[in-house]
Amino acid sequence: MAVSIIGAGAIGLLIAAHLKHAGVEVTLYTRTKTQAKKLEEEGVYLTYDGNDRHVRVRANKLTLEEKIIDPIIIVTVKQYQLATVLPFLKQNSDGKTFIFIQNGMGHLSHLKELHHCQIILGIVEHGATKINENKVIHTGLGKTKIAYYTEKGNHSLCAFIQSWGTPYFPIEFQTDWYEMLAYKLVANAVINPLTAIFQVTNGTLLTNDYLFKLMRNLFHETVRVLELEEQKLWDYVVTICKQTAKNQSSMLRDIQAKRRTEIDAISGYIIERAKEQGINVPYTIFIFNSIKAYEQLDKKEGRQNGN
- Catalogue the active-site residues: 184
Q: Is the sign of the CA dihedral 205, 208, 214, 215 positive or negative? A: positive
CA distance 275 to 186: 17
Q: What DSSP designation does 90 have?
A: H
CA distance 204 to 193: 13
Q: Is the sign of the CA dihedral 152, 154, 159, 165 positive or negative? A: negative
Phi first, then psi: give them for residue 264, nearest 5 degrees: -65, -40
Burial of 13 per CB tally in 10 Å (0-12, 13-18, 19+): buried
CA distance 75 to 57: 16
Q: How far is CA 195 from CA 75, 92, 248, 286, in A?
A: 26, 38, 8, 14
What DSSP element (H or E) covers 278?
A: none
**Which strands make up the sheet holding 72-75, listed edge to edge?**
58-61, 26-30, 3-6, 72-75, 97-101, 118-124, 144-148, 171-173
CA distance 104 to 186: 9
Q: How far is CA 29 from CA 85, 127, 189, 192, in A?
A: 11, 22, 29, 27
